[in-house]
Structure 1
Amino acid sequence: MHFQLDAETEAYRAEVRAHLHDVMTAEFEERLYRSGVAHDDDFAKGLVDKGFFAPTWPAEYGGQNRGAWDEQVLQEELMRSDAPMYLSETTRMVAGIIRAVGPPAMKDRILAGAMKGDVTIALGFTEPECGSDVAAATTKAVRDGDAWIINGSKMFTTNGHIADYVFLLARTSPEKPKHKGLTMFLVPLDSPGVEAQAVWTLSGERTNITFYSDVRVGDEWRIGDVDAGWQVLSLSLQDEHASGWGPHIARLLTHAEQWAETTVADDGVAQIAKPDVRRRLARVAMDYEVSMLLQRRCVWMVEAGQLPVAEGPMAKVFSTESLVRASQDMVELVGPDALRGFFEPSAPEQGRFEHLMRFSVGTTIYAGTSEVQRSIIASRGLGLPR
């Protein structure tokens, strides 16, 4: 097992980094920050033009036939630069599911547009009363001839106000056990009866609660068999649970090092020269290194034909909880000035410490809470009873 990158992958990383340096301007970052929306059409299409959107996809779909390591360094650079990628990532995830199990007509209608950045897809899993227990969904889809009538609501439908479709989990057989009576649909978000209301997170990100009132969709929008939605959904949850957040730790560490190198303490000594500062930076650097090794182990397993069922959640739990600790530690290190926000001229590192501290808390919830991840590690990794 080794995680070293070959020269070709390192060259690919350099290309990605150079592109992001050009497009992630201060003006662009400010616009994203003000909007709270982690998507920009021009940015996404710029990635498509450069071949940075879906590099591991086959060339026939607009990909580059690249390997998993190229995909990994792409994700590392996008995350490290805090690029507006969430809607593109969910689109690519669902497009992969459609490619695997979707009906032929849906593949023809969706895949080409998704790979060009012309079609976007949000996720509709969580419900207001169900929390992380996705299988407890109560949103109903009732068959009406060759169509389905959908009623219910979904929470945290991020980008649901701008996406073209939502990948929706609905209950089609209420009498069956909760994992058995679910079906997946791709619902056009311009359908009559769909409404999105803004919900703002602690980090300032806009997500949505979406409502579905007698929304009528044809059976051609169903993905997978009726009542087999949990099996279809599991394809996406595998990807979500294997998400690593180490590059955000790297971003925090970069800002902390810059602050320490450019800030002089009251005694006239540069902060970087102080033992306590160096200890704290070293602690963050160690957590970053472990986070990346855990994530790269998942990539290695995929390359070797293995499924990182427990290893993915390990990477997710460790990296997100490390990010929370590190963010709080750096705010404590910098002191009260670290709580100055993005729009305050006197804020150290343009307010990144304050924002990363708020942002870090949500990462322990995104893509499955730490409690859910630990349950997966215990049951599927260690073989413990549920």
Structure 2
Amino acid sequence: MDFNRSDALAAYRVQAKAWGAEHLRPEWIEHERETGTHHNAELHRLLAEQGFLAAGWPKEIGGSDVPPELAAAVTEEIQDFGLRMDGWITTWMVLHTIDQVGTPELKRHIIPRGLAGEAVIVLGYTEPSCGSDLAAVRSRAVRNGDEWVIDGAKMFTSTAHEGTHVFLLARTDPQAPKHRGLTLFLVPLDAEGIDIQPIYTLGGQRTNATFYNQVRIPDALRVGEIDAGWSVMRVALTFERSIGEGGFGPTFVSALRDWFASGPEERVARGRSSYVRRFLARTAIDDEVSRLMTLRVESILSHGGLPGVESSMLKLFRTETMQRQHGGLLDLLGAEAVIEGGRGPLNGDIDYAFRNSVLGTIAGGTSEILREVIAERRLGLPRTRPAK
């Protein structure tokens, strides 16, 4: 592997910054913080209209002429501005999963709609009684002719109140062993029998509890083979855990270094202390490791592979590191770190970022589950509990 730093997006950053200056609006950040909704419908439509969502996809299924590198640079600009794009992230993951395992009919039905911004797909995995143990789901899907009837409940269905479909895991054979008898479906959220109730997290995000009562959908919205949902889940989780933050834009370290270097003498002196210098050095090393792990995952994906273990390693390292970094910064800055509203260090985002970093070690697979995946599939260690 070539470890030389090569910024593939460098030629597009000026264009992306100009786009951001023209289109991104500060009130969108305020609205996101007030509502807890990490999806902006107006921004999503804009990205779709200008072809950014469809960048890199084949023309025959709705792809655009926008260079993928420009789309990536624009996405980084949006993130640096302070906006989240959770609705697109989950849609992107499910579209790629459907592209891998869906029927030709389902691909023609949903992928062009997703790339056009018309379909926003959310995730329906976790349930009140199973947490991260997705194989223990109790939601049922029963075959009735050419339809399925779904009953059950899901927790933490983020963006469901803004979405059009939920990618839902249900048990289709209650007699099968735990990891079998599961099937995935693409369920329209406007179907009769669905109820969406808000839940607010430690980080202020609105997620949802969703309830399904005799919800009927056609078999054409099944994703993958019947009772083979666990295999489909592994594909979906690979894409979910492959999302990295290893770019070349402004980093947490550079922003913090610039903040210490500016302002009153006391702050500048504190920034030169051995404690702060060690903290910055450790953070820079962690960021570089995360960047390299991201490149490794991207390389496997670009060659048609599915980086199951590698994406779990990336997700575990990145989220644990982010929590440690923001927690360390709270200790370092003390009371200053909890000042919000743009008046504190780093625009007053430290406390907000720390609270969200706690959730990062849970969503998409807890750190404990990821350690088990790495131990079993990469290190070859035995399972710590009996297989069911």
Q: Same fold (TM over 0.5)?
A: yes
- Kindly provide the CA deviation profile for residues 227-271 of structure 1, in whole angstroms up to 9, marking residues without a partner as x: 1122222221111122334569965334422431233255x8544
Asked if residue 373 in structure 1 is aligned to residue 378 in structure 2, the reply is no
1:57 is displaced (CA, Å) by 1.3
Give the SS at the match of 2:175: coil
Q: Which residue of structure 2 aligns with residue 95 of structure 1? A: 95
- 3-state DSSP of counterpart to 1:176: coil
- Name the counterpart of 2:57: 57
2:363 is the alignment partner of 1:358: no
RMSD: 2.7
| Deviating more after overlay: 75-84 vs 89-98 | 75-84
Partner of 1:216: 216
Q: Report the counterpart of residue 314 of structure 1 in structure 2.
A: 313
Q: In structure 2, which of residues 377, 381, 386 is the aligned counterpart of residue 384 of structure 1?
A: 381
Q: Which residue of 2 aligns with 1:182?
A: 182
Give the match for residue 292 of structure 2. 293
For residue 332 of structure 1, what is the aligned residue in structure 2? 331
Q: Separation in 1 of the partners of 2:328 and 2:322? A: 10
Query: Corresponding residue for 2:196?
Result: 196
2:116 equivalent in structure 1: 116
- Shift of residue 53 of structure 1? 1.7
**Alpha-carbon contact 1:81-1:251 (below 8 Å) kept:** no
Partner deviation per Cα, 1:22-66 (whole Å, 9 max, x = no partner): 433322211111111111122122223444324231122333588
Encode CA deviations 1:255-310: one digit per residue, 9 max, x unaligned.
422431233255x8544333332332222122111111111111123334544222
CA drift of 1:208 comes to: 0.4
The alpha carbon displacement at 1:362 in A equals 0.8
Residue 3 of structure 1 and its aligned partner are, at CA, apart by 5.2
Closer, same or farther: CA 293–203 of 1 in aligned 2, 3 Å = same
What per-residue deviation string (whole Å, max 9, x for no partner) do you get for residues 312-333 of structure 1?
A: 2221111111111110111222
**Distance in 2 (alpha carbons) for counterparts of 1:385 and 1:81:** 45
Task: Name the residue aligned to 2:386.
Answer: none
Matches within 5 A, 1:109-188: 109-188=109-188
| Worse-superposed segment, 110-119 or 9-18 | 9-18
One-letter amino acid matched to 2:291? M
Greater shift in the superposed pair: 8-17 or 207-216 = 8-17
Q: CA, structure 1 residues 147+307, in 2 after alignment: closer, same or farther (shift >3 Å)?
A: closer
Structure 2's unaligned 5+ residue stretches are 384-388
TM-score (norm 2): 0.89
**Separation in 1 of the partners of 2:10 and 2:321?**
26
TM-superposed CA distance for 1:150, in Å, is 0.8
Normalising by structure 1, we get a TM-score of: 0.90
Aligned length: 383
Is residue 202–residue 356 contact of structure 2 (8 Å, CA) maintained in 1? yes
Asked whether the 8 Å contact 2:62–2:111 carries over to 1, the reply is no
> In 2, distance between residues paired with 1:277 and 1:8?
31
Once the two structures are aligned, what percentage of the paired residues are identical? Answer: 40
